[in-house]
Structure 1
């Protein structure tokens, strides 16, 4: 790739117009810095301890990279890589070298400041263009020197890898497209599937592209958190910055078409603070949820200028019959617990794990208790926006519908404003937005866009008049138009034949037909995953489905392809994670298919389903304990919550300041001290301060296993193996798994070996580490997600340790031969 960048630099220098030259040089430098950042992310993931070095903040922000972010990422991670892996990593970044007269980090900071002040938001005159085109050229030349080892090489088969000095590390992230370097515009996740979008680096013709990332990628490294948990987002409205918490799912479609009037009405309601309720209603398949999520995602992208006050919390809730609660898995069978759940969903913004008393009350009592929490957090009803989806499922009888309307009225007056989507006109005085069919022109445009996406040739070749007739025949209903286009793309039938086959049936016959058609096209593994899912009692979320795929022996992405082209389920997509609920008719269809199997196959699939249920239950238990012990307990005070917000935003100094105020305010909170110590250790790398705080955490609660492990890691980081080992043994006696403890000891020795100069002593430490890793692997049960994570780390460090042992044994042998020949 270095050659490609050198060729691009030559092309840029040939430009006589300084403004054109500067524009292209800026694009070249942007691409180069992004490429280097991705390589450094990959090195960090491969060579540093995953539970000590957090990539999440940087890679999460890198999904929409600014020009300053790669410089920040390199600045942050280079010292860590030097400390953990390669002591002479990136010479010339912080210091002068014989090839680089001035540290490249300082030159790049100057470039970022110019880029933001002049090129991004100011005016560039001819003199500035000439000066900075020369400066940028010089910076690029120095970058090609300093970054030479981390600019990937291209294998004959097109794969990217780093040189031998960096262990020939394979770079999984695609950084070239059509044999050209790229500029990354966005990295996104939909339904757990990751994609990267960008442009090729070319002066003559820069092409847009989107390509899929492997499931194991540097951006998919989310820390432990509840699926659909609340995120802190920042937007700009009326040229002011605002931040708020939300759990808004991502868009349901990338081919959103029309609905300008409906979006406009929803935006108008959003800005009318006197209106408490908005009802988006209409028949199934017209896109009510799609419309609301489109508008909310546009809001997240700062596409609107709303009047104050803007909501501080936006809570999205979709009616589900199965939920994890404090008492385990619950199946809601009546209206009251189901409607109460939307209030509990809001409360999870303030406490991720609700205590039992939240489940022992309902109705007015639950609302009153929630009002108390809002007041504690200095919030009122104008700070909250509730989005409640598919409310027609919450009530069926006439009396239940009336009760539901009364409930919404009370919530809207007391808790917050409400957007409701429903197939019926609910009993509530709300701003109504009726969702009907698209216009014929919108229907035609939607079919044409979908046809281009799915390669439906008959649609692409049809004239507008024909497509208008088709859209009208299908009632301009988006879900039917989409189903037709997908069916034509798969069957290669003409439009008339496809309509004849599919849409002259009753609704149930139609779904049966579509299910049979989809089922026939699936491979055996995909079918078996669906047959496992229909036998599960656990909620169908990403981790559960991924585990089912693993048990069957199929890639999660391959199963996703079968799920995407069917109407088997209702999906709630949070990007990195998702939930599905099987449509009732689809569930019956799968059970019918299951009944046709022989007993041996039925028992095998039931056993797999049972195993997945056990996995889901254990995972939920561990996550609940994690969140209860580490999150809920630690972040009780306003200062502690503020510290967490600053840390989540990457504002480490501000977070430390808030933590210091928090421990003054809550001085006997052991969990709070432990979380503070973790930040000091891993984000600030102030080992002595972290040690002091960890000791205090254990002094406050000598049974705080997390604090004990935290102090052990501080000792390991300081090179004090014996002290660290003693604390790890203490953690084992208080419940930490043997496999985890052996792994921590092994990792400490792996990094300790790098400091040892004597080859024999170095090999002794590495061999001890390898022995510990083998014992850790044997004792690892792999019974839940965290055992799986430990297992991945064990395999990672076995590979790293084995390579180091081989490398140093070879050096020892060569040294001995030289001595023998003297």
Structure 2
């Protein structure tokens, strides 16, 4: 790759037109920094997994929807970690002044690139480039491109004879699994896509003459698409650029419902116009079922979060999505909301999960206008005004079905939109509410045709691919030009390999129930016995269907989770709402009835097996939820009980280190005897601000207030380990376990600490001893991990990964 990049740079230098040269070099910098980011993520993930100071999932989200600054951010985060762990000479010149051969000392490359990004966002994004600036920045960018090839040389992969790309690290040669080139040329990454559990990269060739778009498959196991489990916390940070400024949005929005979106340009423009029109408090998108209301909203909001939308105004700080269902799961099982107000109130309570991991019972005792006022006050105390919050209420027609409920809904939403958040609603009705109203009609003929064509390719529906435009126009018209029915038609043709006439006749059956029954039976007949058992088992569950509970069912039945998900995607049994690496699943009502009939048809032994699996998973879910609630109750409720403390948490989640520190300092003045607050501040200083000495002082204060604070003991242990004080860290681990921390967590942290000490030691005997101790501790940690531990998946994964690494290091170093 380095050789190819040098040739491309030499070609760019020959360009006489300075404006074209500057554009070419900008693409060059984008490609080289992206490839370096991919490389360093793979190196880091292969060698080290657990690092409390790093949000690896956040790193991956930045890579998946990259702006120019995101690659720089990733390198800023990972270069110092790899230097500390095992590669001290990595990327010399990234943070420090650097001298090219025969040249004068220059400022750090990271700083150069940040200035380049700022200039691009200012002048190219929102300003004007004059001739003098073009010449100046063409020259500066050329020099910057050359500097990148020198400073990042070690992590720009080498292409091998077999076509693979690899990087030579101190731990050995690492083969990259993520595609970084195509047609023997480097690429520029546009974004990563996940469809049906299969990842791909949308990219363009780095080619001056022709830069076609393409989709590259990302193989299973690639470290750039391997998210860590996230056991709790609904809101995740997303970074975008608006008006030339970096903005962080905290969002709990599902991913797009489909990777194929066609048409709706006027409706998209109107919704975007509403987003920046802060005078309008609410927006209603209404239309018949199946016309694509939810799809439109999720497309717009995801484009915003992926930094693919040019906003003329300021973006919201918080975006919360709430699907309007009249059920909710608690540790007591599924509960049914008795009124419209209860369901809507639940949507604004969820906003508080931006800075609280759980809500106390008083939040559920407060209702109506009092709840709206209290939520508004709490958000305002955390620095969030109404215009900073966007609330999406999806499918509100399900929330008001009786006489008088529509007016109640309108009144409650009006209160929310005045005091708490701007609101987007989707409904099959034209709700009686003061809002900008956007009616979604059937698709335009040309858009419906294009959608049918694209879906035909997507589902390998030969009959659609081979049909003429006139035939497909007629079918789309007869389907009401509704995206939902068009999708059903295309999927059916692809799955059955039948004719258009047969598929159309099936889709157009008079009874929705009849259509569903046909599609269900057809899917059932094509399914393996083991996959059927998973469907029947999850039908019996009285807990939420999500990536964790469905994964447990698959494990009990010895069915690969990903394999079963691919089977699910080929059916019409329900829908999955994806949240990055996690998902929520909903089985259609008709499908539930279908499965219940299938369960009754089973023999006694098979039926008992299905019931036993469901009961076991239900118990696991209840115990895990209880453990999680108990784990966070004292730490969160007590730590963030003042407005300043909540503001500190929000600022920290946004990544604003300085503002968070200011709020934490204010919080400990207001609440000086709060041990949990001091511990959370200590944790923040250690993992975010990277100020270990300050963290130790805060943790010591937390333990002086409450010596049995298990979290503060754990914080002190980790800080001690980072200072290299193993014995001191072990003592604090012992106290943390004694006061309630899981034993496997203590063993894990002790094992990881010894591993890091071992690889940083220059003494052979010391390395061997520490690695042996690390292996024993990590093995014990892996065997003692329990499903009910709220962090079981993360801890087990850490233990197994570090165990493999320690064994490899032990064998590699060998006797000397």
Q: TM-score, normalised by structure 1?
A: 0.87
Measure, in 1, the Cα distance between the counterparts of 2:352 and 2:66: 32
- Within the candidate set 446, 458, 464, 1:459 is matched to 464
143 and 293 in structure 1: CA distance in 2 versus 1, 3 angstrom threshold: closer
How far did residue 185 of structure 1 move?
Answer: 2.0
Q: Tell me the secondary structure at the aligned position of residue 420 of structure 1.
A: strand
Counterpart position of 1:113: 115
How far did residue 733 of structure 1 move?
Answer: 0.7
Counterpart position of 2:88: 87
Please say which of residues 598-607 and 667-676 is displaced more in the overlay: 598-607
1:28-43 matches, cutoff 5 A = 28-43=28-43
Counterpart position of 1:63: 64
Counterpart position of 1:818: none
1:223-266 per-residue CA deviation (whole Å, 9 max, x = no partner) reads 846464365766637x8887765533333234333445555665
1:224-373 matches, cutoff 5 A = 224=230, 226=232, 228-229=234-235, 231=237, 236=242, 246-260=251-265, 262-263=267-268, 278-297=283-302, 301=307, 303=309, 314-325=319-330, 328-332=332-336, 334-335=338-339, 337-349=342-354, 351-363=356-368, 366-367=371-372, 369-370=374-375, 373=378
Measure, in 2, the Cα distance between the counterparts of 1:562 and 1:111: 45
Checking the alignment, whether the CA contact within 8 Å between 1:322 and 1:539 is kept in structure 2 is no
Measure, in 2, the Cα distance between the counterparts of 1:314 and 1:164: 41
1:299-698 matches, cutoff 5 A = 301=307, 303=309, 314-325=319-330, 328-332=332-336, 334-335=338-339, 337-349=342-354, 351-363=356-368, 366-367=371-372, 369-370=374-375, 373=378, 376=381, 385-398=390-403, 404=409, 407-408=412-413, 418-424=423-429, 426=431, 433-698=438-703
Checking the alignment, whether the CA contact within 8 Å between 1:533 and 1:548 is kept in structure 2 is yes
589 and 771 in structure 1: CA distance in 2 versus 1, 3 angstrom threshold: same
1:272-296 per-residue CA deviation (whole Å, 9 max, x = no partner) reads 7776665444432222322333444
45 and 701 in structure 1: CA distance in 2 versus 1, 3 angstrom threshold: farther
How far did residue 51 of structure 1 move?
Answer: 3.8
753 and 606 in structure 1: CA distance in 2 versus 1, 3 angstrom threshold: same
Measure, in 2, the Cα distance between the counterparts of 1:142 and 1:271: 40
Unaligned 5+ runs, structure 2: none
How far did residue 716 of structure 1 move?
Answer: 0.9
Please say which of residues 469-478 and 264-273 is displaced more in the overlay: 264-273
Q: Tell me the secondary structure at the aligned position of residue 202 of structure 2.
A: strand
Measure, in 2, the Cα distance between the counterparts of 1:98 and 1:262: 53
How far did residue 496 of structure 1 move?
Answer: 2.2
Query: Does 2:184 correspond to 1:182?
Result: no
Measure, in 1, the Cα distance between the counterparts of 2:129 and 2:401: 65
Q: Tell me the secondary structure at the aligned position of residue 183 of structure 1.
A: strand
- Within the candidate set 783, 791, 797, 2:796 is matched to 791
Checking the alignment, whether the CA contact within 8 Å between 2:109 and 2:148 is kept in structure 1 is no
1:698-709 matches, cutoff 5 A = 698-709=703-714
1:100-153 per-residue CA deviation (whole Å, 9 max, x = no partner) reads 967787245335524642684567678877776676566555544544442334
Q: Tell me the secondary structure at the aligned position of residue 813 of structure 2.
A: helix
Measure, in 2, the Cα distance between the counterparts of 1:475 and 1:208: 32
Checking the alignment, whether the CA contact within 8 Å between 2:747 and 2:777 is kept in structure 1 is yes
798 and 406 in structure 1: CA distance in 2 versus 1, 3 angstrom threshold: closer
1:355-379 per-residue CA deviation (whole Å, 9 max, x = no partner) reads 1123345445544554554565577
Measure, in 1, the Cα distance between the counterparts of 2:542 and 2:677: 36
How far did residue 399 of structure 1 move?
Answer: 5.7
How far did residue 433 of structure 1 move?
Answer: 4.5
How far did residue 797 of structure 1 move?
Answer: 1.6
Q: Tell me the secondary structure at the aligned position of residue 667 of structure 1.
A: coil
How far did residue 538 of structure 1 move?
Answer: 1.1
Measure, in 1, the Cα distance between the counterparts of 2:133 and 2:383: 50
Counterpart position of 2:48: 48
Checking the alignment, whether the CA contact within 8 Å between 1:90 and 1:146 is kept in structure 2 is yes
Measure, in 2, the Cα distance between the counterparts of 1:529 and 1:54: 36
1:72-127 per-residue CA deviation (whole Å, 9 max, x = no partner) reads 43343222222222334344544668979677872453355246426845676788
Measure, in 1, the Cα distance between the counterparts of 2:134 and 2:49: 44
Measure, in 2, the Cα distance between the counterparts of 1:353 and 1:671: 16
Please say which of residues 478-487 and 525-534 is displaced more in the overlay: 525-534
Checking the alignment, whether the CA contact within 8 Å between 1:228 and 1:577 is kept in structure 2 is no
How far did residue 573 of structure 1 move?
Answer: 3.7
1:735-789 per-residue CA deviation (whole Å, 9 max, x = no partner) reads 2222221121111111222343332232122212222222223333344452232
Counterpart position of 1:763: 768
Checking the alignment, whether the CA contact within 8 Å between 2:453 and 2:465 is kept in structure 1 is yes
Measure, in 2, the Cα distance between the counterparts of 1:470 and 1:627: 55
Counterpart position of 1:816: none
Checking the alignment, whether the CA contact within 8 Å between 2:319 and 2:389 is kept in structure 1 is yes
1:147-186 per-residue CA deviation (whole Å, 9 max, x = no partner) reads 4442334466655443263333343333233443222222
Q: Tell me the secondary structure at the aligned position of residue 639 of structure 2.
A: coil
Checking the alignment, whether the CA contact within 8 Å between 2:86 and 2:760 is kept in structure 1 is no
501 and 27 in structure 1: CA distance in 2 versus 1, 3 angstrom threshold: same
Q: Tell me the secondary structure at the aligned position of residue 44 of structure 1.
A: helix
460 and 218 in structure 1: CA distance in 2 versus 1, 3 angstrom threshold: closer
139 and 342 in structure 1: CA distance in 2 versus 1, 3 angstrom threshold: closer
480 and 103 in structure 1: CA distance in 2 versus 1, 3 angstrom threshold: farther
Checking the alignment, whether the CA contact within 8 Å between 1:525 and 1:554 is kept in structure 2 is yes
How far did residue 806 of structure 1 move?
Answer: 1.5
Q: Tell me the secondary structure at the aligned position of residue 780 of structure 1.
A: coil
Q: Tell me the secondary structure at the aligned position of residue 170 of structure 2.
A: helix
1:140-219 matches, cutoff 5 A = 140=145, 143-154=148-159, 158-163=163-168, 165-188=170-193, 194-211=199-216, 213=218, 214=220, 217-218=223-224
User: How many equivalent pairs are there?
Assistant: 808
Measure, in 2, the Cα distance between the counterparts of 1:274 and 1:456: 47
Measure, in 1, the Cα distance between the counterparts of 2:319 and 2:88: 46
Q: TM-score, normalised by structure 2?
A: 0.87
Checking the alignment, whether the CA contact within 8 Å between 1:71 and 1:105 is kept in structure 2 is no
1:698-744 per-residue CA deviation (whole Å, 9 max, x = no partner) reads 11222221111010111111111111111111111112222221121
